Structure 1
Amino acid sequence: MANAVLKASRLRLIFDYGFDEDNKPVYKSKTYNNIRQEADADQLYQAAQAIGSLKAEAIWEIERNDTLNIDE
């Protein structure tokens, strides 16, 4: 039977930079590596809000990206 072991976690914040000259939305992201693997969704949300408050642009989306090793 295969096992999945959490190797690393990343927090990705996507910011809304408004619209370009063609009236298409512009988004830019910032990724934070080495996130504490035990952190739950509420803790990550609070951290993202704290980081987002330092920027003029609004947060569009918050993502958690986990890397897992799968083996037998």
Structure 2
Amino acid sequence: MALISCDMRFGRTDEQKRLLAAGLLRVVSAATGETKNDIFLVIREGRGINFVEHGEHLPEYVEGAANDKELIERLK
């Protein structure tokens, strides 16, 4: 069984999380041959301060960031 752990900042809608989950399940299934029923996915959310990138704490999530839209489109 494949296990996917996805950590992200608070702020995305339930619909965005559903689309992300569906896309991740699809691409992991295609890459591994596992069925969606054999993949366990956990999405964890936290405040921006809990995420550090390039030595800097991230700000809180702001909807509409360009990279989020591009990611969701690629996962469709």
Q: TM-score category by the smaller chain?
A: 0.3 to 0.5
Q: Which has the higher strand share?
A: 1
How high is the TM-score relative to the length of structure 2? 0.35
Q: Which has the higher contact order (CA 8 A, sep 6+)?
A: 1
Q: Rg bigger for which structure?
A: 1
Q: Which has the higher helix share?
A: 2
How high is the TM-score relative to the length of structure 1? 0.36
